[in-house]
Structure 1
Amino acid sequence: MAQIYISLGSNVQREKHTRAGLDALYAAFGSLQLSSLFESEAVGFAGKAFFNMVIGAQTWLSVDEVVKTLKAIEASNGRLQGDKKFAPRTLDLDLLLYDDLVQGEPLPLPRAEILHNAFVLWPLAELIPARLHPQTQTSYAQLWQDYDKDSQKLWKVEFNWKPSL
C-alpha cells in the first residue's frame, strides 16, 4: 500500500469546495491525515486568496489511477480541463508524493512546488516533519525552517471537517 500526499487548493467558494474535496477524497481513499487549513495570497496571478492544505492517505491505486481520481474530483467540483495554470480555481488537487517515488514522466514526482511554495511546504512540514524529501534527503521540517517565509504570505485558518458521507 502506498502512502500519498495531495495538495488541495481553492479560491472560488473556498469553504464549499474544500469540504466537497475532502468528502470526495475520503470516499476514494478512506482515512485521511489533514494538515491545518491555510489562507494564502494568490501566486502567479492577481486573484482572491486561496485556501490550501495537504492531505495524507494510503492507497493500492497506481500513480495514474490516483491522478485520474483527483481529476475526476476536480471535474465534479466545476474545474474545467485546460484551465490556465495561474487562474482562479474551484478545486485544485495535485499528487505531491507517492511513497518515495522519484520520476520525471508522465508526472514528475515529487512535485517541484514542494520546494517552492509555502502553501505546500508548511502543511507538509506540519504533517510529516521528520520524513525526508526523496530528492534532497532533507526533512520537511528543515526545508520549512530554511524557507524564505517573507516570499509568500500565508496564515492558518480555523477549520473543522468531518466526513459528510
Structure 2
Amino acid sequence: MSPLFRSGLIAAVVTLILDQASKLWLLNIFELGHRGVVTVTSFFDLVLAWNTGISYGWFQDSGPVGQAILLAIKVVAVIVLALWMARSGTRLAVIGLGLIIGGAVGNGIDRLAYGAVVDFALFHIEIGGKTYNWYVFNLADVAIVAGVAALLYDSFVSPAPQKRPHNKG
C-alpha cells in the first residue's frame, strides 16, 4: 500500500469514526431526540432530523425500494472513489477522496442501522425579524463537502503531471 493511499485511508477511517461517534453520543448519551432543539449559540442549534433522502432531503419519499437503490448507488460510488484514490498522485486529492469515502460510509451506516441518515447541526440567522435556516447536516456531510473542495482546489491549483517523452522508434 502506497503512503499516499494510506493517508487517504486514514482520512476515511478518522472521518467515519468521528461521524459515527458524534451520532451515537448525540442519540444515546445526550439524548438529542428527547431534548428537541438545543441552542448552542445565537446562530447554531442541535436538532435531530432523520433524512431518508439524499443531499438537501431530495428523494425522501422513496420508500424501502428507494432506500435500497440509494444504498446500492452509494456502494458503487465508494468503490469508484476508492479506485480513484488508489490512482491519485497528490496528497490533497487522496485526502479529499478519503474524506468523501468516510462521509459516504458513515451516512450509509446510518441508512442501514436506522433507515435514514442522522442529521443534527443547524445554522441559522435572523434578519429583520425573519429567521433563515441552513439545511440540517452532520459531520459526514461536512467531510464530503471538504473533500469535494479539496478535489476542486487540487484540480485547479496543483501542477499538471509531467508527461514522459515520447520515443519515436
Q: Do both proteins adopt the same fold according to a TM-score greater than 0.5, normalized to the shorter chain?
A: no
Q: Give TM-score scaled by structure 1 length.
A: 0.23
Q: Give TM-score scaled by structure 2 length.
A: 0.22
Q: Tell me which structure has the larger Cα radius of gyration.
A: 2
More helix by share: 2
More strand by share: 1
